[in-house]
Chain A
């Protein structure tokens, strides 16, 4: 009964969260993006796979329970909050499906939390087309979350296109870090 075990862990987590909520820093978008930057650094030092794009790092072990790896909405959590995409594509790569599933379970278990999904692109091509492409990426992630029981009311998407690059440069490794959807928890 893996799922039940996870649920128990989630419930414990939720209780802990509410119990110590007074001590927690408010979660801001800034903290979230700082964490995203760290995530990218981790990814690049552990090697990029050019053919499949960036791989998720610190993939949560869903079976072990989420509490062990820290909270998803904790800015310092090692849980991955960035989904990377292939060039000109908004399809979620198979590697990232478990990441989205873990977030879905966490959101279902914490209905008071909401998630902002920020779609982004690399710098190539035209800016407004990239806004549209970034939105499709965010929408792909949102659809997978909705399909796993997350409430529509918990989700909001925005696309920044190429306006907020995670890395600057003019090479494939920069571009693949920028083709991303960032998951930013909005607190309670």
Chain B
């Protein structure tokens, strides 16, 4: 795919999300021409602490699928179906219309209602009523975005998901503070999961989204921890001599694939989390690392330097019959499967340019999606439409997202510090 050509024909939208809690701004650096016009009217509400309309509007805009009508361009603000005049929305060039209301409940909660209309057919497509506590209003707004997205695109929305990532902030004098954080998919309400003055790395969600495995050097040597997000309770699951790295959950959540160098060179192992049994999967003298499971659990793809340069290999998840997967580019590493198993995202390096590539597992061809030069850590959205990854420019690291056809791109810019190693939570 010709990246430059796409850059030229695509519209460039700018969007910044601001709030007193904002840690992050998201810019759509490249959207699609065919974005559907949608109007989300401010919800009728009184004294509600969260602006649901703004959250839904920003979610839909950020997806790149929709062209949102600004509030100023609206000539009426209906909040009930009876108030809607479809003709006027047609005149504004809108295909779809969202209206809604938020009212306090008798039990101290809020009742949130909305309708999605097809403006040209003059008919309601979906309508929901949900109860939400004050604390859950943001979550409710993202759920509304998911419902609208699914109705209009046929794909599952990912707005109510969360992202994990690592930040590092320099303390000067060759010292840093490293943090593992989890935020909503729009970057809001970030929570710190772990903090250390030694590196934190490689966050990996459990398939049920309740636990996270990660690498910590807090005792001046690498160890792998599994932490339960709700309670903060954590267990050290690997602390062998040498490397304890690259944890990856099996799709059934019972095992972790990981990298250990206790026998000399780094190899792939599978750790049974219940029995603590350790199975060695690869046994080469070269570097073997960065395991990832195929969604059916049958195979493990990993990076190996056995051919002289890092390339991707595939093996059955119980070991044996290792086959090389990548043959183009002089550096292919850190693979990540799409949720349906049809695609494999990777760091694809040529010369000094490291970009995100996607392999079609059926044809084994690689499509390069990003421009580099230091792109890494690709992570699929749970609906498989976008890939979140880390970039670096001007000496600082930030997160970006690209659609798997390369047509839509977003940049997520945090207030300070370096952000990297994003991991999108699995679908709930």
Q: Which residues of A contact B (CB under 8 A)?
A: 29-30, 33-34, 36-37, 88, 123-129, 131-133, 135-136, 157-160, 163-164, 166, 168-170
Contacts and interface: CB of A to CB of B under 8 A. Distances in A.
A187 to B, nearest CB: 14
A125 B310 contact: yes
A164 B199 contact: yes
Contacts of B303: 126, 128-129
A129 B289 contact: yes
The B interface is mostly helix, strand or loop, or mixed, namely: strand
B395 A170 contact: yes
Contacts of A34: 173-174
Contact of A125 (B176, B246, B331, B421): B331
B301 to A, nearest CB: 13
Chain B: interface residue count, which band? 35 or more
Contacts of A158: 217, 220-222
B309 A88 contact: yes
A128 B245 contact: yes
B333 interface: yes
B242 A135 contact: yes
A125 B354 contact: yes
Nearest to A33: B174
Contacts of B427: none
17 contacts: A30-B175, A34-B173, A126-B310, A127-B201, A128-B245, A128-B246, A128-B290, A128-B334, A129-B310, A129-B334, A131-B245, A133-B287, A136-B287, A158-B217, A158-B221, A168-B395, A170-B394
Contacts of A170: 373-374, 392-395
A124 B243 contact: no
Contact of B349 (A125, A127, A163): A125
A135 B246 CA distance: 14
Nearest to B346: A126
Given A129-B289, A159-B243, A164 B176 contact: yes
Interface in B251-289: 259, 261, 265-266, 287, 289
Interface string B383-394: 000000000111
B184 interface: no
B376 interface: yes
B107 to A, nearest CB: 48
Nearest to B247: A128
Contact of A128 (B265, B289, B373): B289
**Of residues B168, B334, B376, B392, which shows the largest number of chain A Cβ atoms within 10 Å of its Cβ?**
B376
B94 interface: no
B334 A126 contact: yes
A135 B243 contact: yes
Nearest to B332: A126
A126 B349 CA distance: 10
Q: Which 8 A/B pairs are nearest by Cβ-Cβ distance?
A: A126-B334, A163-B199, A132-B287, A126-B333, A128-B246, A132-B266, A33-B174, A126-B347
Interface in B284-340: 287, 289-290, 303, 305, 309-310, 331, 333-334
Given A124-B374, A135-B266, A158-B220, A129 B333 contact: yes
Interface string B197-222: 00101100000000000000100111
A138 B168 CA distance: 24
B174 A128 contact: no
Contacts of B221: 158
A37 B266 CA distance: 29
A169 B395 contact: yes
A135 B333 contact: no
Contacts of B222: 131, 158-159
Given A131-B243, A135-B266, A164-B176, 10 more contacts: A126-B377, A128-B201, A129-B289, A129-B305, A131-B289, A132-B261, A132-B287, A135-B242, A160-B199, A170-B392
